[in-house]
Structure 1
Amino acid sequence: MKPDIRRPEPKDAPAIARICRNGWKRTVEGLLSQSHQHETVQFWYGEKKVMQDIGKGRYSYVAELDGAVVGVIGGGRASVRSGEIYVFYVDEAHRYKGIGRMLLDRLTEDHRNKGLVEQWVSVQEGNRHGQPFYEARGFEYIGKKSQRTGTGEVQMSLRFRRHI
């Protein structure tokens, strides 16, 4: 069965929060401390924060399958010419079914309709799912970006770009 790709609604906040929390923690497992993981998921992926961010348009689309949200993507304009993907996760039980591709295609369509000609995304260094996914869709590695976390750790992100 094919999922419905649609705009998120406030009722989706619990599912979006769960998918993002689990996805982000899986991405940084073994790379960042439990303390930083806890702080990050509490700040970004608590249901109240997700609900606020839905209202602000920070989540662009969800994938709904059999009445359940199974994926989410958020992105927007980063500059006059560029779009950025800010958040993108698919529930682990629904990976490798084309849902991620469908979400990315829908966001890319939005970016093109706004006259954007390139997309950017940051991928956690060591993310063995994200990097191959983006490379298979024409994203090219541009460089690394480091950021010091609130717990004093250095988080490394790989920057990718593609022309759309």
Structure 2
Amino acid sequence: MTVRPATLDDVPDIVRVCSEGWRDTYRDIHSEAYAEAVIAEYYTPERVASEIGPSDSGQGWQWDGWLVAELEGQVIGAAGGGPTGAETWEIFVLYLDPAKRRLGAGRALLNAMTAQALAHGAREQWVSVTQENEKGLPFYRAMGFEVREARESVSESTGEPVHSFRMARPLGAA
């Protein structure tokens, strides 16, 4: 298993992994309309291509660029995040090919993002996880994340309720 910064050549694989991973994770949680609206907003080739490298949101957070996990030359996972404060770093996305789960890609991607967080001087790493996400919640709990807050919102695209947990874990001193 190798993790590396993504290149433009990885865009189709990132789109595939995130779209398939999103559908697989949320098929029993959200409607198909909601799933397709999220995919159409976040996982298009154009958007992913524009996010390949680091960027500043101009809204108080940064994006460190996409990372991909490869196994035998095949992209099986994609992730990204960035600093959200002087000592905080957020995981914005982490998805795996549904057929390639439990091979270590999630842990490898999280480890690479943790290295990015520490390089920024972060002391805490955060993630938002849908409360009903029985794939993500056990993973993050096993990696030392704890629920700090429960949030409720409504999808702008479909009007569906969205229930999420804000989870965090401490990181070692930078």
Return the letter of the residue paired with 2:124: E
What's the TM-score once normalised by structure 1's chain length? 0.93
Aligned to 2:162: 155
Separation of aligned partners in 1, 2:139 and 2:32: 26
The answer for unaligned runs of 5 or more in structure 2 is 56-62
1:66 aligns with 2:64: no
- The C-alpha deviation readout for 1:39-75, integer Å capped at 9, x for no partner, is 1111111112111121455443111122211111101
- What is the correspondence of 1:7-156 to structure 2 with a 5 Å cutoff? 7-56=5-54, 58=63, 59-149=65-155, 150-156=157-163
Moved over 6 A (4+): none
TM-score (norm 2): 0.88
Deviations 1:63-93 (A, max 9, x none): 1122211111101001111000000011122
1:133 Cα deviation from its structure 2 partner: 0.5
Mapped to 2, the partners of 1:157 and 1:49 lie a distance apart of 24
* CA RMSD between the two structures: 1.4
Identity over aligned residues, as a percent? 36
| Residue 4 in structure 1 maps to residue 16 in structure 2 | no
SS at match of 1:107: helix
What amino acid maps onto 1:152 in structure 2? G
Tell me, yes or no, if the aligned pair for 1:60 and 1:107 is still in contact at 8 Å. no
* Aligned positions, number: 162
Unaligned runs of 5+ residues in structure 1 are none
Q: Is the 8 A contact 1:118 1:162 kept in 2?
A: yes
Farther off after superposition, 58-67 or 9-18:
58-67
CA distance in 1, matches of 2:129, 2:75: 23
